Amino acid sequence: MDISLPLDKMTNSDKIAMMEKIWDDLCRDPDSIPSPAWHQDVLAAREKDIKEGKASFASFDRVKERIRDQVK
């Protein structure tokens, strides 16, 4: 299926709204979207770090601040 969208004519708000509609549709049946094998590897490594006390955590506000600093 070839779907064309007039991306060059859409505002960023229109594009985000379109992505949200697609995401909402995909979320209706999450089991139909397999998780890649490497996701399990990442989760296992993070769980190991937590158990070994090697993990660090940041507040949501701090994370948002770091992201904003990176995209400036």
**For residue 72, what pLDDT band results from cuts at 50, 70 and 90?**
confident
The H-assigned helical ranges of 1-72 are: 12-27, 37-51, 60-71
Residue 15 structural domain: 10-71
The predicted structure's pLDDT at residue 27: 94
Q: What is the pLDDT of residues 12-67, one digit of tens each?
A: 999 999 999 999 999 999 899 999 999 999 999 999 999 999 999 999 999 999 99
How many structural domains does the chain have? Answer: 1
Domain assignment present for residue 3? The answer is: no
Alpha carbon distance 34, 4 (integer Å): 26
Is residue 26, in this structure, part of any structural domain at all?
yes
> Residue 5 domain-assigned?
no
Of 6, 24, 27, 25, residue with least CA distance to 15: 6
The confidence score (pLDDT) of residue 24 equals 96
